[in-house]
Structure 1
Amino acid sequence: MSKIHLSLVFHNHQPVGNFDYIFHDAYEKAYKPLTDCLDRHPTILAAMHFTGPLLDWLMANQPAYLDQVASQVQHGQLEILTGAYYEPILAMLQDADKLGQIQKLNRAVEQLFGTTPAGMWLAERIWEPHFPKPLQEAGIRYTILDDAHFQSAGFPAEDLFGYFVSEEQGQTINLVPSHRQLRYLVPWKPVDDVISWLQEQADQRNSPGKPPAWAVMADDGEKFGYWPETYNSIWVEGWLDEFFTALEQNAEWVQLIHPKDYMAQFRPRGRAYLPTASYMEMGEWALPSPASWELRDLREQYQQELEIIPEWDQEKREETGRVLKFLRGSFWRNFLVKYPEINHMQKRGLALSQRIHALPPSPTREKALNALWASQCNCAYWHGVFGGVYLFHIRSANYSNIIEAELLLEDGETASVQESDFNSDGFAEVIVSNGPLQVVIEPAQGGILTELDYRPTKYNLLNIMSRHPEGYHIQIQEAADTHMLMTPGDDRSKFEGEPVRAKEKGLEKYIYVDWHRRGMFVDHFPGEQTTLQNFEASQYPEQGDFVDQQYQVEIQTTDPSPVLRLVRDGYVWMRDIRLAVQVAKTIRLENETIVAVYHITNKGDVALATRFGVELAFGLDGGDNREYCVLEVNGNSYGLGSTGEVGGVTRYRASTKLRKVALEFSLSRSATLWRFPLAPITLSEGGFERVHQGMVSLPWWVLNLAPGGTWETEIQLALTPLK
């Protein structure tokens, strides 16, 4: 009987900032049962990877579990893989941080498990061609990628039952293909189907003159009990025990082996220089939304064709398969284009990294590095269908670590101002701090604030996401149009076919797309037909050209804290008249208060009659839950998920009990205040839903200015501790 070598690799991860109950549930439903299952089957060899945040939690909460894993390592049952400690996407780091994070996890693996790792888990299997050099310098001998990575470089699927050598500047590393078909069989199909597939590969993939066939199944450990609807099948019904028993019964021809041992015993199948790649879906998600949906449709079309082509028509099947094989999307870096907020966060970390690495070694430098590395945890830097960039608490944790690292570097500094193009958009940004506050101002994008750090609590109050178009929004709209949108209380039997699940009726009406980045001190001239409803929907007539256009900036450093004067000479449209208007805003930091003084001047030759509003967005932990967050206006309180209008407003206040901070807005002129939530629609386990990201408040006034006339107002934002 033909033989095949098999490696099982389990990747266990929880991100920095995740809720403690999620760590606990994943441990109880996946990590601990899997390790116990290996104890019940001591001849089953496997490999595991634990990320740093998960190891930190296990050390604090389940140290006996780590001893159990260490025992399996010492008995030769488990191989432990390393990785970058906080599970960053390596492509977003400079090489010094790649090396530092990998070495940090190497040390943890050696201390906890008594073994030196040979292989590493690559976060989200995101590969770039320059990786061999930094990985080899970190002592890595191999990493595991998808078979799709190799197929995109032209490798036939039948040749991917071994490993390959890649190189950069003479530094080499082994690349191991993980088989998609095996990942889709385990643990979703009957055990007999998995064994049959292994038998088929054993019969077909062993060729004279080549190393013995090697199949690799490398996937998330959470898939084995923690993912929705997996605990019952895997642990109650016993799928994994049955699978391990089947492997034991077929051990004569299915030879389990650790990846490092296969490579020690057998030679590579050749060289491989792979393009930028990740798993297939990541390439789709990284595309702009229309293209993402178009690629998804195209893949489904060819996949459906392949399924109905009869077995005897091999020529047609092969032709369709060839098209599918080369259908690729974009790559991870395009998320930095798709989501400016995520580019902002990543570039803040990159600039901080350069500052830290320029310092001589010291305990403070090491603490700052660890905080920086924690901010690089990958989960908030991409988005597929669930969570990702829309996970407020994960972004919040990343920013908290960035702020902590900066505070460690300051060494008593108070006021400072930096002007540089840190976000790599071709225009200079300005970062101003005065001790308790730090703000990022983007003159080229309307002179708006895109970051507001309240440093006593290490909290970015502009950690918000604008409402971006997503490919899956088309699915919601199509389902609503065809009456296939199923909401709580609907009778499943009334739907013919598979409905699209949503958590509330009429969800499709809330698919709003913002045409500009949300922030603070965004200058609007809403047209006379603008209502709260169409302003919230971002489908109103904007009469000015100030929202996202270039402001000139003048930095004054004579005061104790720097003062920024931002000026734009633009235009406001009044029906058919284009009127020259100047908006000048002076922004200064005073202790824990931001003071903005506006001067609007009519530079035209006719009277200016318009409305002017200043967008003041913010995001708070606790979101639209009134138990934690509340907005107070004129003696009334509202949830941050509410939409409404209040007249005669000179003060309003938002607060979060979770962060124990309040934002107090003061207006020198009485205004009409509009408010609405930033709640993009995304997908969760229970279906599509609105996910709270922040609130937009807009105080606005009616202006009537004669030619040459100037209107002035002052807005103050005070940040205060909440007792």
Structure 2
Amino acid sequence: MSKIHLSLVFHNHQPVGNFDYIFHDAYEKAYKPLTDCLDRHPTILAAMHFTGPLLDWLMANQPAYLEQVASQVQRGQLEILTGAYYEPILAMLQDADKLGQIQKLSQAVERLFGTKATGMWLAERIWEPHFPKPLQEAGIQYTILDDTHFQAAGFPDEDLFGYFVSEEQGHTVNLVPSHRTLRYLVPWKPVEDVISWLQEQADQRNSPGKPPAWAVMADDGEKFGYWPETYNSMWVEGWMDEFFTALEENAEWLQLIHPGAYVSQFRPRGRAYLPTASYMEMGEWALPSPASWELRDLREQYQLELEVTPAWDQDKRDETERVLKFLRGGFWRNFLVKYPEINHMQKRGLALSQRIHALAPSATRDKALDALWASQCNCAYWHGVFGGVYLFHIRSANYSNIIEAEMLLGDAKTPSIYETDFNADGFQEVLASNGPLQVVIEPAQGGILTELDYRPAKYNLLNIMTRHPEGYHLQIQEAADTHMLMTPGDDRSKFEGEPVRAKEKGLEKHIYEDWHRRGMFVDHFLGEQTTLQNFEASRYPEQGDFVNQQYQVEIESDKFALHLVRDGHVWVRDAHLPVQVSKVIRLAQENIIASYRITNKGDIHLATRFGIELAFGLDGGDNREYCVLEVNGNSYGLGTTGEVGGVTRYRASTKLRKMSLEFSISRSATLWRFPLAPITLSEGGFERVHQGMVSFPWWVLNLAPGETWETEVQLALASLG
């Protein structure tokens, strides 16, 4: 019987800022049971990768587990892979940060497990052609990618049972294909199906003059017990023990090997220069939403065609498989376009990195660098169908680390106000810092605040998400239209086929898409037909051309103020009236003061409504146990929609951050409020996910030609004990 080598690689990760109970549950349901299973099968060789945040938690909470893993390493059963410590997407980092993060994890691996790692886990398998240089400089001999990376470069499937060498500027690294088919077999199919597939590969993939065939299964460790409905099959019904037993029983021809051992013992199959790539789904998600859904439909169409084509029609099956092989989407960097919030966060970190690396070595520099690296944890820098950038607490942790790094550099002690195109959009932004506060103002986007850092709490109050269109929104709408949307209380038996699940009835009616970025000091002019409901839904006619349009800017450094002016227009019925909006934004201790002047520059009367969008996000979100909004003696949850008249002051607070944000308005206003709660997909179905609240004071204006109307809005931040 022909032989084949097999490597099993388990990637264990939890992001910076994740909840402690998630670390604990993943440990109890996946990490610990797998390690115990390896103890029960001491001849089973495997490789593991632990990210830095998970190692930090294990060191603090489960040190005996790390000793158990170390014993498996010392007896030669387990290989440990390194990676970038906080599991960043390498493509978003300077090379100095790539090198530093890899070295940090490599040192931790050697310290904790007594072994020198030669292989690396690449976060989300996001590959770019320039990686060989920084990887080799970090001491990496090999990294694991998907077989689809190689297929995108034209490699036939039969060649992907070995490894390849890639190069950049004379620096080389070995690239190991992980087999998608094997990942989809393990652990979802019966063990005998996995063994049968491996037997087929052993018979077909060994060729004279080539290194022995090598199959690699590399996947998330959480898949083996922590993912929904996997614990029972894995550890109660015993799938993994059965699998390991089958590997032991077939050891004569199915030879387990550490990936590092294969790379050191056998030669490569050739060179490979691969395009930018990740796993197949990431390419789909990175596309703009309409294109993402179109690609998904196209892929499903060809996949269905393959499934229904009979085995005897091999020509048609081959043709369909050829199309599927070359169907691929975008690449990770498009998330910087798709979600301005991701680009903002990434560019903040990039600018900070450049500052830190320009400093002379010191203990403070090292602490700032580590905080920066923690802010680069990848989970908030992309989005697929679950979580990602929509995880408020993960974004919050990233910003907290950015703010901490800046405070270590002394930014809170050195007031500054300056212009720079930090987000690389071709327009100048203004960054202002007075000690307790730091703001980012974007004149080209309506003169709005897109970041407000309250340094005493290490917290960005504008860590919010605009409600973006998502490809999967079509799925929930189609399900509702065809009566295939299942909500709590529905009888499963009434659905023919698999229903789409949603966590509340009527959810499809709350799919809102914002046409501009949410922030503070967004200037709106509204007509009589605009209501709270259609304004919340972002389905109303904007009467002015001030939202997301260019404001002229003048910095008054001596007053620590920013003067923003736009000469625009407001539609009033059939008239297009010239209007000037002037706002002076000043930082004063823990306060932000915005002084507004609205001037009718036309020669006819101006009758309209003017309002100022003041969005914010607080930890605890729509849970009234943690967060509350107080208006005119009444309290409301941040997940509520409503209107209150005669408002001159309102206050939001969070117990989790022990801070409050109070708004004072010089003119009595009508206050609208509504949550920013985009609909995303979770493991339990579609749901609204709280991302912040929009507060919107507005006034009725009646201005004669040349007349000016004024108001002042003050934001006061404070710590609560």
TM-score bucket (shorter structure): over 0.9
CA–CA separation in structure 2 for the residues paired with 1:393 and 1:260: 36
SS of the residue 2:558 aligns to? coil
CA–CA separation in structure 2 for the residues paired with 1:258 and 1:686: 37
CA–CA separation in structure 2 for the residues paired with 1:316 and 1:108: 52
Query: Is residue 109 of structure 1 aligned with residue 109 of structure 2?
Result: yes
Query: Is residue 689 of structure 1 aligned with residue 682 of structure 2?
Result: no
Shift of 1:265: 1.1
CA–CA separation in structure 1 for the residues paired with 2:433 and 2:414: 7
CA contact (8 A) 2:411 2:435 kept: no
Query: Is residue 511 of structure 1 aligned with residue 506 of structure 2?
Result: no
Deviations 1:397-453 (A, max 9, x none): 000000000001116623211210000000011110110010000000000000000
CA–CA separation in structure 2 for the residues paired with 1:578 and 1:652: 34
2:452 corresponding residue in structure 1 = 452
1:602 corresponding residue in structure 2 = 600
Q: Which amino acid aligns with 1:113?
A: F
CA contact (8 A) 2:412 2:433 kept: no
Shift of 1:230: 0.2
Q: Which amino acid aligns with 2:685?
A: G
1:672 corresponding residue in structure 2 = 670
Change (3 A) 1:412 1:440: closer
1:331 corresponding residue in structure 2 = 331
SS of the residue 1:579 aligns to? strand
Mapping of 1:8-27 within 5 angstroms?
8-27=8-27
CA–CA separation in structure 2 for the residues paired with 1:411 and 1:6: 52
Shift of 1:668: 0.2
1:532 corresponding residue in structure 2 = 532
Query: Is residue 286 of structure 1 aligned with residue 286 of structure 2?
Result: yes
Shift of 1:721: 1.3
2:701 corresponding residue in structure 1 = 703
1:477 corresponding residue in structure 2 = 477
Q: Which amino acid aligns with 1:111?
A: R
Deviations 1:638-658 (A, max 9, x none): 000000000000000000000
Query: Is residue 653 of structure 1 aligned with residue 651 of structure 2?
Result: yes
Shift of 1:722: 1.8
1:629 corresponding residue in structure 2 = 627
**Which of 698, 710, 715 is residue 717 of structure 1 equivalent to?**
715
TM-score by length of 1: 0.99
1:379 corresponding residue in structure 2 = 379
**Which of 574, 578, 581 is residue 579 of structure 2 equivalent to?**
581
Deviations 1:202-243 (A, max 9, x none): 000001111100000000000000000000000000000000
CA–CA separation in structure 2 for the residues paired with 1:366 and 1:411: 16
Shift of 1:558: 1.2
CA–CA separation in structure 2 for the residues paired with 1:107 and 1:224: 27
Query: Is residue 120 of structure 1 aligned with residue 120 of structure 2?
Result: yes
Q: Which amino acid aligns with 1:190?
A: P
SS of the residue 2:385 aligns to? coil
1:362 corresponding residue in structure 2 = 362
CA–CA separation in structure 1 for the residues paired with 2:528 and 2:365: 55
Q: Which amino acid aligns with 1:92?
A: M
Shift of 1:248: 0.3
Shift of 1:73: 0.5
CA–CA separation in structure 2 for the residues paired with 1:255 and 1:466: 51
Deviations 1:697-719 (A, max 9, x none): 00000001111100000000000
Q: Which amino acid aligns with 1:663?
A: L
CA–CA separation in structure 1 for the residues paired with 2:663 and 2:227: 43
2:45 corresponding residue in structure 1 = 45
CA–CA separation in structure 1 for the residues paired with 2:146 and 2:417: 46
CA contact (8 A) 2:142 2:174 kept: yes
SS of the residue 2:409 aligns to? helix
SS of the residue 2:276 aligns to? coil
Mapping of 1:7-86 within 5 angstroms?
7-86=7-86
CA contact (8 A) 2:47 2:81 kept: yes
2:215 corresponding residue in structure 1 = 215
Deviations 1:601-660 (A, max 9, x none): 110010111000000000000000000000010111100000000000000000000000
CA contact (8 A) 2:412 2:434 kept: no
SS of the residue 1:219 aligns to? strand
SS of the residue 2:693 aligns to? strand
CA–CA separation in structure 1 for the residues paired with 2:564 and 2:32: 57
2:491 corresponding residue in structure 1 = 491
1:394 corresponding residue in structure 2 = 394
Query: Is residue 188 of structure 1 aligned with residue 185 of structure 2?
Result: no
CA–CA separation in structure 2 for the residues paired with 1:418 and 1:242: 64
Q: Which amino acid aligns with 1:90?
A: L
Shift of 1:526: 1.1
SS of the residue 2:639 aligns to? coil
Q: Which amino acid aligns with 2:257?
A: I
Change (3 A) 1:448 1:411: closer
2:591 corresponding residue in structure 1 = 593
Deviations 1:252-287 (A, max 9, x none): 000000011111111100000000000000000000
SS of the residue 1:558 aligns to? helix
1:439 corresponding residue in structure 2 = 439
Larger mean Cα displacement after TM superposition, 550-559 or 194-203? 550-559
1:543 corresponding residue in structure 2 = 543
CA–CA separation in structure 1 for the residues paired with 2:531 and 2:408: 47
**Which of 566, 580, 605 is residue 568 of structure 1 equivalent to?**
566
Shift of 1:504: 0.4
Shift of 1:542: 0.5
SS of the residue 1:16 aligns to? coil
SS of the residue 1:525 aligns to? strand
CA–CA separation in structure 1 for the residues paired with 2:26 and 2:412: 42
SS of the residue 2:526 aligns to? coil
Deviations 1:639-689 (A, max 9, x none): 000000000000000000000011100000000000000000001111000
Change (3 A) 1:186 1:378: same
Query: Is residue 297 of structure 1 aligned with residue 307 of structure 2?
Result: no
Deviations 1:569-620 (A, max 9, x none): 1011111111111000000011101000000111001011100000000000
Change (3 A) 1:592 1:412: closer
Runs ≥4 residues deviating over 2 A: 411-414
CA contact (8 A) 2:12 2:220 kept: yes
Unaligned runs of 5+ in 1: none
CA–CA separation in structure 1 for the residues paired with 2:618 and 2:460: 9
SS of the residue 1:21 aligns to? helix
1:154 corresponding residue in structure 2 = 154
CA–CA separation in structure 2 for the residues paired with 1:328 and 1:477: 26
CA–CA separation in structure 1 for the residues paired with 2:683 and 2:122: 26
1:141 corresponding residue in structure 2 = 141
CA–CA separation in structure 2 for the residues paired with 1:577 and 1:71: 79
2:406 corresponding residue in structure 1 = 406
SS of the residue 1:374 aligns to? helix
Shift of 1:123: 0.1
Unaligned runs of 5+ in 2: none
Deviations 1:5-32 (A, max 9, x none): 0000000000000000000000000000
SS of the residue 1:614 aligns to? strand
Shift of 1:136: 0.3
CA–CA separation in structure 1 for the residues paired with 2:496 and 2:381: 38
Q: Which amino acid aligns with 2:199?
A: Q
CA–CA separation in structure 1 for the residues paired with 2:412 and 2:35: 48
Change (3 A) 1:617 1:412: closer
Q: Which amino acid aligns with 1:119?
A: G
